[in-house]
Amino acid sequence: MNQYVTGAVIKELREKNEMTQLQLADKLGVSDKTISKWETGKGYPDITLLESIADAFSVSVTELISGNTVYNSNVSANVLKSKFYVCPICGNVIHSMGEAVIHCHGVLMTAAEPEETDENHKIFIERTEDEYYVRIEHNMTKNHYISFMAALSSDRIQTVKLYPEGNAETRFKIGGVKRILFYCNRDGLFYTDPVKGIDDKESGYDNARERRELERTAKILFG
């Protein structure tokens, strides 16, 4: 096991739950001196006690060991607040609509922080009837590529997996989409907001024609 519950975590959770060392000891069937030893780093709880400790604090064993406790007061959270976790080892993508403790290949992952698109990750969006056609100007080599795109609305998510040496493009049903995200395996998560207001169908999406003209002009000038 690469990680184990620390005394600092036990003390923090005990104090958050407004328990004394004696109260926690009674729940676990140990002495308050044992709790004190754990909290001062003079000993560790036996592995058979981990589930009981987690239950006492109303957290999972994973949260207890990682030291990251999760509090989700609204289980029907807004999809626009979604979090994406991408494993640096296998590329596995995990989506959560709230706080979570995520492990993959033994790695404790943190949620990717989305950044606005930049000059190295240009995104072009065209409206075609009831869809957005989305294209990203990006090489798609075996070592550097866009791994997925996602379109978020307040109540749903559309996700498309992309692959090296494929095309960095896809289509999404418009259906209230407020944010489009994509993930570069080297540079991380990026976003753009195609709709500035509620279903602003005339001006709420990227001016694709203008950007295409600029792109064509650049290719002519610079090859």
Q: Parallel, antiparallel, or unpaired: how do β-strands 169-173 and 131-137 relate?
A: antiparallel
For residue 149, pLDDT over 60 is answered with yes
Q: Are 147 and 141 in contact (CB under 8 A)?
A: no
Q: Let me know if 26 is exposed, middle or buried by CB neighbors in 10 A (0-12, 13-18, 19+).
A: middle
42 secondary structure, DSSP code:
S
User: Which range, of 83-87, 159-163, 168-172, averages the lowest pLDDT?
Assistant: 83-87
Whether the CA torsion 7, 9, 10, 15 is positive or negative: it is positive
Statement: residue 71 has pLDDT above 60:
no
CA torsion angle 52 53 59 61 (round to 10): -80
Question: Which range has the worst mean pLDDT, 23-37, 90-104, 127-141, 175-189?
Answer: 90-104
- Give the pLDDT band of residue 221 (cuts 50, 70, 90): low
Model confidence, pTM: 0.61
> Mean per-residue pLDDT for 25-37?
91
CA distance 25 to 53: 10
User: What's the longest Cα–Cα distance across the chain?
Assistant: 78
DSSP tally for the chain: helices H, then strands E: 6, 12
Q: Is the Cβ–Cβ distance between 141 and 164 less than 8 Å?
A: yes
